[in-house]
Amino acid sequence: SDSRVINFGAGPSVLPDSVLQEAAKGLLNFNGTGIGIAEISHRSKEFVAFLAELEGQVRSQLEVPETHSILFTQGGATGQFSAIVLNLLARHRLLHPDLSNDERAMDYVVTGSWSKKAAEEARRLGGGQVNVAVDARPYSKDGKSFDNIPAHDTYTFSPNPALIYYCENETVDGVEFSNDASSPASFPFHLLPQNTLAPLVADYSSSFMSRPIPRLADHAIIYAGAQKNIGPAGLTILIVRKDCIVDVDAAAKLGAMPVPITMVYKTLADNNSLYNTPSVLAIYISGLVLKRSAELGGLKYYEEVNKRKAEKVYAAIKEGAEKGVYQAKVKEGSGSLMNVVFNVLGEGAEAKFLSGAEARGMQALKGHRSVGGIRASLYNAITEQQVDMLVAYMKEFLEQ
């Protein structure tokens, strides 16, 4: 069939039709060069200008201050699980050369599968001690699931850590920090070590460009894989405070771990993200997506629409829960606006729900294999009208 379905997949995920149509033209002829985007040199003036435009879109839409550089790389968010540790341990070594590795704390806020994985990578690499600042599981309904953002008084940060890590939106578990500072599910910025440039790191992979980033300027590193809200897989976007772009080789002379060259933030920064060949096609499509976002009204626009979309689905879950058909997985107040997860109760009911959805042109609603259930990913390219169709089906399913 040549018609497109409604794709609620968690990533790679749906991209706007209009962008894909434009990208198809660019595949044959990029910006009038007569050469396709997948064929043109990454050092051509046309591509270099396009990359600068993409950077400009990220900077203006997120209001990234001049204290921070915007870098583009590959290796996915998982690549950054390693790169942040190596770069920030090098920074810590330069600041505190005399501390032993046992005295280099790396604080991890563990609210779901992805932050847990990031902490595991830090532990695997070594070079410092992983301190779990908080693990959300003991505060869950069943004592073992990631279903909540813990209360502020449960966090313990180290006095002088090499890094402090959190994942803003947990794609698998459907748990997200609130961007309302007065919410108990907000990130506890006020508990961070004061009077120092805190090495605060945030994985924004699945919520990047879905709404403004609270306290962006207080972050050392914000990073995201492109394959949710902005483009194809293969592009990783980094926002790095300039004091975290350090000479890792000088740090290695003092005993820090050596850093593979493509992971060195200074190498990326010194070469305008063109040290080696970047993911040209992914950059192109992401640039088109962000240009379109700006035309629609940018992050203010998406913040409003995305909030309405998620509220509609959560309301339908609540209605179904009262009838014993659906069950919310995440505690109220901690639910993600991007990935809404719930169970369909009863023998065979989940399979029936999924096949009914497919019959109505809605796909990829099956939850991650590690948690099961249903997951509806409501990224920017999912329209409110498409969410209305999902909600109508969820209500219809209650009557069956």
| Catalytic (active site) residue 247 | no
* C-alpha–C-alpha distance, residues 6 and 363, integer Å: 6
Residue 203 binds ligand PMP, judged by CB under 6 A: yes
Q: Classify the phi-psi angles of 23: left when phi > 0, otherwise alpha if psi is within -120 to 50, otherwise beta.
A: alpha
**Contact partners, residue 271, CB within 8 Å, separation at least 6:** none
Region of 23-31, 201-209, 271-279, 298-306 interacting with ligand PMP (CB under 6 A): 201-209
* Contact criterion met (CB below 8 Å) for 374 and 367: yes
Both tokens of 134, joined, read 């908080």
Residue 188 binds ligand PMP, judged by CB under 6 A: no
Classify 348 as helix, strand or coil.
Answer: coil
Q: Are strands 129-135 and 105-110 parallel, antiparallel or unpaired?
A: parallel
Residue 206 binds ligand PMP, judged by CB under 6 A: yes
Region of 65-73, 74-82, 327-335, 375-383 interacting with ligand PMP (CB under 6 A): 74-82
Q: Which is nearer to ligand PMP, 1 or 370 (CB)?
A: 370
The count of chain residues that interact with ligand PMP, using the rule CB under 6 A, is: 11
Task: Tell which one of 6, 77, 200, 364 touches ligand PMP (CB under 6 A).
Answer: 77
Residue 78 binds ligand PMP, judged by CB under 6 A: yes
Binders of ligand PMP among residues 81 to 110 (CB under 6 A) are: none
Q: How far is the CB of 304 from ligand PMP (least distance, A)?
A: 23
* Contact criterion met (CB below 8 Å) for 236 and 224: yes
Q: Which is nearer to ligand PMP, 96 or 124 (CB)?
A: 124
Q: How far is the CB of 154 from ligand PMP (least distance, A)?
A: 21
The single-letter code of the amino acid at 30 is: F
* Contact criterion met (CB below 8 Å) for 217 and 188: no
Both tokens of 215, joined, read 């306290």
Task: Tell which one of 7, 82, 171, 267 touches ligand PMP (CB under 6 A).
Answer: 171
Q: How far is the CB of 119 from ligand PMP (least distance, A)?
A: 12
Residue 76 binds ligand PMP, judged by CB under 6 A: yes
* C-alpha–C-alpha distance, residues 138 and 41, integer Å: 52
**Residue nearest ligand PMP (C-beta atom):** 76
Nearest to 25 by CA among 116, 91, 33: 33
Task: Tell which one of 26, 127, 225, 231 touches ligand PMP (CB under 6 A).
Answer: 225
Tell me the β-bridge partners of 28.
Answer: none
Q: Provide Rg for the chain, Cα atoms.
A: 22
* Contact criterion met (CB below 8 Å) for 211 and 306: yes
* Contact criterion met (CB below 8 Å) for 339 and 330: no
Question: Which run of H or of E encompasses 317?
Answer: helix 298-322
Query: What character string, x for contact with ligand PMP (CB under 6 A) and - otherwise, covers 7-46?
Result: ----x-----------------------------------
| Catalytic (active site) residue 117 | no
Region of 76-84, 173-181, 184-192, 340-348 interacting with ligand PMP (CB under 6 A): 76-84
Residue 205 binds ligand PMP, judged by CB under 6 A: yes
| Catalytic (active site) residue 173 | no
Region of 22-30, 31-39, 126-134, 203-211 interacting with ligand PMP (CB under 6 A): 203-211
Both tokens of 381, joined, read 């390219």
* C-alpha–C-alpha distance, residues 344 and 394, integer Å: 10
Task: Tell which one of 122, 164, 167, 357 touches ligand PMP (CB under 6 A).
Answer: 167
What does the binding site for ligand PMP look like in residue numbers (CB under 6 A)?
11, 76-78, 114, 167, 171, 203, 205-206, 225
Residues annotated as part of the active site: 114, 203, 228
